[in-house]
Structure 1
Amino acid sequence: MAPQSISAKVCEVLYQLPTRIICTVIVIFQCVILDYYLVTHKGYAWLAFIAADLAVVFVFVAAFVISYRHLLMSRESSTQMTEVRPGSLPLGYIAWGVYSLALVARIVVIFRTFVFNLSESEFFGPNLLKLSLSLSSPIFLLLLMTHNNAPITSPRRQYIEEITGSVPLDILDSVEILDVLFTNQSRILLPFSLEHAILSVSCINLVLPVLPLLTLSRTHFGYKKLADGLLMGHRLLHMIVVNVPYLVIRLIIWHGAEQSVSVLLTKNIIMIFLTLHDLYAWKQEKELEKEENARNYEMEERNSITDNQAL
């Protein structure tokens, strides 16, 4: 039994560690690249952001350690046929909150001061900047993977995907819409209010994944479930905060500023349509459920009256 136990623990470590190591490496790489842009274009005083980088790495490592212990306890309890809930894992959404705030601070400085001076002919130009910002999407995925061990076909996994399924694409959407702020031409054609709206909405939506992570934390990553009404409210909030603003901004860029439109405009339309369709279907189900309950209540009343008359 001892050798089997040791080999099982070794397999567990090998299963859990790579995801955490890769996520940490990507976070550090993104921080270094963004710090280089700041120092190169703003001066050495911006090396102060290294303090924020250390805070981000520290909270990610702490979240990984705690989640590893919880998931290991959960896996061991399942082999012993005992039910142990793995805990709320609060550092998951705290880690993303700290990380996203540090990221947004850099984005605001970069896009309000020198992004329009970047040249595509340079290695540290707009392409590398966009690539480094887009790394937030796999960072979110890896952070999520390290905080649950739900089997692929389980209801827990389906619940987690329903809560977070669109987040990685929304992060890429937030980075893509910033593309119009990179060139001098776009900066001249776009009104200041539109530039401000694009930057504001993108930054908000980079912080927004805190909410699904918080929701999963409070529901113990699928061990509990949100009420249908709260789940639908979560999807409506997501539609209003993410897809509707991006759709409006892209239409303004297309028709008002006469700029080329992104294909992600179609993604915004599809997500809005699906959310409204699901809302309508959910309301129809609730109406049918109310009618069924009313019929059952009426039938019980009739049966009660009949029994009283028989007595």
Structure 2
Amino acid sequence: MAFVNVILNKMCLELKNIPMKVLCIMLVILQSFFMDVIIINCYGTGPGGEDECKHCKLCYWWIAGDALIVAGFIVTFVVSYKHLEYYSNSRRLNKKHMSYGVPLSAIVWFIYSSYLSAKVAVIFITAIDDKLKSTDFYGPQFLKTGICLSGVVFILFVASHHKAKENSKERMYITSVSSGITFDVLDTVDFLDVLFVNETGLILSYPLERAILAIAILNLLRPTFSFILIILNHFNATKLSRELSAANAVVYIFFVNVPFMAVRMYLWHNLDSDMSVFLVKNFVMIFIGLNELHEISLEKTQEQDSSVIEMTPRLTTAHRPTDLVDSSPEGPPQYTDALVNRNETADV
């Protein structure tokens, strides 16, 4: 039994995070399948269909783009693996600060999220969502599942770029950020739910529809900014600058939660839409973000006050009134300051 445990431990050390990378790539492929099937089937019925769209063949080019995305993920994982191994074996560099992440990962993730956002935009702009029926297998739930997979992909993608130990502050920071991004993706899918007219029965104005779609797409792109921050502070191995922390809080408040809450409140009060449970999440996250901005501002003010105190010249011994006399226990105080002695001589 002990021999088996040794073999399993050795296999885990050799494999490292390869299973997570493989699973991440498989989910990217699965998500591409979900989105492409909806676009190809609904934008045109496909070759030989009665209502075949003349642009249907062009829809298959989405698959070529997906292949490039998958290739980009593979290249990123290979480069990140070599990056981690190089800095782990180097003795001249600080492994704690230099052993995590590469800029190529942020670029690939931005391309991936942009491509996913483009698919979402095409589906809702061309009214493909109106053709989806809840009774069909390729229905609204199929599309929502495909979009939700991006949150899981983000967790696996980030987990494949570090060697943080279990229960370390780096691991807890990574888990916190990844969980928050996944929660925001679910919030985005729930936000897009109002655009499915066949399910909600809501008749929205054209500007409101485009505003909802634009806000949702921005939220699908926002994980790129979070991933850049993770790289900049080396997965919490170094402290993030105060300016970047404030920028992250501002983006999270005014580009995600405030628009989501405002639109949901409008739909609730003016169109009698069902109140989403994520409305409470938006309110709580706004409060947390504002509190974070307050703490950052308070910390900056305290540092400025301390620097002013340090720059103030200290009083020397001769300038302090208590040092003008010699409090000797043998007799009355004897003045030692030269100015006081001159005054006594003048009085005499």
What is the CA-CA distance between 1:187 and the residue it aligns to?
6.3
> Per the alignment, in what secondary structure is the counterpart of residue 62 of structure 2?
helix
Structure with greater proportional helix content:
1
Work out whether 1:236 is the aligned partner of 2:250. yes
Note closer, same or farther for the CA distance 1:188–1:172 as it changes in structure 2 (3 Å cut). Answer: closer
Q: Does structure 2 conserve the Cα–Cα contact (< 8 Å) formed by 1:88 and 1:219?
A: no
Q: CA deviation at 1:105?
A: 1.4
- What are the ranges of 5 or more consecutive residues in structure 2 without an aligned counterpart? 1-6, 45-55, 325-336, 339-348
Deviation at 1:95, TM superposition (A): 1.7
Contact 1:164 1:212 in 2 (8 A): no
Amino acid across the alignment from 2:41: T
1:96 to 94, 100, 109: 109
- Per the TM alignment, residue 258 of structure 1 is displaced from its structure 2 partner at its CA by 1.5
Residue number in structure 1 paired with 2:150:
136
Deviation at 1:32, TM superposition (A): 0.9
Per the alignment, do residues 161 and 22 of structure 1 end up closer, same or farther by CA in structure 2, a change over 3 Å counting? closer
Task: State which of 289, 292, 301 in structure 1 corresponds to 2:303.
Answer: 289
Contact 1:67-1:147 within 8 A present in 2 as well: yes
Q: Which range is displaced more, 27-36 or 176-185?
A: 176-185
AA aligned to 2:274 is S
Corresponding letter in the other structure for 1:83: N
TM-score by length of 2: 0.78
The structure-2 alpha-carbon separation of the partners of 1:194 and 1:160, relative to structure 1 and needing over 3 Å to count, comes to: same
Counterpart-to-counterpart distance in 1, 2:16 and 2:178: 22
1:248 to 258, 262, 271: 262
Secondary structure of residue in 2 paired with 1:222: coil
Count, aligned residues: 302
Contact 1:27 / 1:139 at 8 angstroms: preserved in 2? yes
Write out per-residue CA displacement over residues 183-239 of structure 1, whole angstroms, 9 at most, x where no aligned residue. Answer: 236465211111111111111111111112122223333343321232122211221
Between 1 and 2, higher relative CO (CA 8 Å, sep ≥ 6) is seen in 1
Query: Contact 1:181–1:187 (CA<8 Å) still a contact in 2?
Result: no
Question: Per-residue deviation at 1:296?
Answer: 3.7
Give identity over the alignment, percent: 31
User: Post-superposition shift, 1:115?
Assistant: 0.6
1:1-311 matched pairs, under 5 angstroms? 10-43=11-44, 44-45=56-57, 46-76=59-89, 83-84=94-95, 85-86=98-99, 88-112=101-125, 113-160=127-174, 166-184=180-198, 186=200, 188-298=202-312, 300-303=313-316, 306=319
In the alignment, the residues of structure 2 paired with residue 255 and residue 212 of structure 1 have an alpha-carbon distance, to the nearest angstrom, of 33
1:154-173 per-position Cα deviation (integer Å, ceiling 9, x unaligned):
34345545655522211111
Q: What is the alpha-carbon distance in structure 2 between the residues aligned to residue 95 and residue 168 of structure 1?
A: 18
Could you tell me how far apart the structure 2 residues matched to 1:52 and 1:62 are? 15
Listed one character per residue, the Cα deviations across residues 39-65 of structure 1 (whole Å, up to 9, x for unaligned) are: 111134211101110111011111111
From the superposition, tell whether residues 63 and 247 of structure 1 become closer, same or farther in structure 2 (CA, over 3 Å). same
Q: For 2:92 and 2:147, locate their aligned partners in 1 and report how far apart those are by CA, in whole Å.
A: 44
Larger Rg: 2
AA at the equivalent of 2:16:
Y
- Equivalence for 1:3: none
TM-score where L is the length of structure 1: 0.87
Q: Counterparts of 2:117 and 2:225 in 1: how far apart (Å)?
A: 16
Name the Cα RMSD after superposition: 2.8
Q: Which amino acid letter does the alignment assign opposite residue 40 of structure 2?
A: V
